[in-house]
């Protein structure tokens, strides 16, 4: 063990520095996301989802930096990444719609003007929808129609269609003051 510590002393110190920087960065970004979410009135579950995306991204960046710290050469990493991306590319081609929905979910977190409880109208020539937003998930919106039916609408489609706000906070939560 002491041999390992003596051999990789500088690499371990650099690792501690990188990890402390990335943990600090993660804390700052998650705090910012939480503040933006609370200020915008965004659901707690969506805030946590975006925070998880940030954590995973920073973890992958940490792995890349650690590979360089411990002596990996760019040509070695390029071979690994090209192989991994080839496999991932083939796999993701089959599930591209899932990725587009996740990406749309992240975009909607920061710029979607409607919130849970709003009644919206989606202007789709084939299937127009007027419903209340019950939940906004990573892949889809949960919309409650006037007849009580639940419709799940993909996030990527909601960003492609014209949407009108019919009624703000249409859900009656029973908290009316008497």
The arithmetic mean of pLDDT across residues 75-98, rounded, is 75
- The DSSP result for 120-144, as a single string, is EEEE-SSS-EEEEEEEE-SSEEEEE
| Cβ-Cβ contacts under 8 Å for 100 (sequence gap 6 or more) | 156
Residue 131, C-beta contacts closer than 8 angstroms, at least 6 positions apart: 119, 120, 122, 143, 144, 145, 146, 151
Query: Residue range 53-61: average pLDDT?
Result: 90
Q: Does the CA dihedral 50-52-55-57 come out positive or negative?
A: negative
Helix, coil or strand: residue 106: helix
Q: In angstroms, how far is CA 99 from the centroid of its own chain? A: 11
61, pLDDT greater than 80: yes
For residue 177, pLDDT over 50 is answered with: no
State pTM to two decimals: 0.55
In angstroms, what CA-CA distances link 33 with 2, 7, 49? 42, 40, 10
| Tokens coding 28 | 């700052």
Asked if the model's pLDDT at residue 173 lies above 60, the reply is: no
Share of the chain above pLDDT 70, in %: 93
Residue whose pair of structure tokens reads 């040509």 in the numeric block: 75
Q: What is the pLDDT of residue 83?
A: 80
- The rounded percent of the chain whose pLDDT value lies above 90 is 29
Cβ–Cβ under 8 Å, residues 133 and 114: yes
């Amino acid at each position: 063990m002491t041999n390992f510590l003596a051999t990789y002393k500088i690499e371990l110190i650099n690792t501690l520095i990188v990890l402390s920087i990335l943990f600090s960065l993660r804390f700052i970004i998650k705090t910012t996301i939480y503040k933006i979410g609370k200020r915008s009135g965004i659901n707690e579950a969506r805030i946590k989802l975006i925070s998880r995306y940030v954590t995973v991204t920073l973890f992958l960046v940490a792995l890349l930096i650690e590979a360089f710290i411990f002596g990996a050469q760019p040509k070695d990493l390029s071979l690994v990444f090209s192989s991994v991306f080839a496999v991932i590319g083939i796999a993701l081609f089959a599930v591209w719609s899932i990725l587009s929905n996740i990406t749309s979910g992240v975009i909607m977190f920061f710029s979607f003007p409607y919130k849970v409880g709003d009644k919206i109208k989606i202007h789709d020539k084939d299937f127009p929808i007027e419903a209340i937003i019950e939940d906004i998930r990573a892949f889809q919106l949960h919309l409650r129609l006037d007849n009580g039916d639940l419709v799940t609408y993909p996030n990527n489609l909601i960003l492609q269609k014209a949407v009108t706000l019919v009624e703000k906070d249409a859900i009656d939560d029973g908290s009316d003051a008497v």
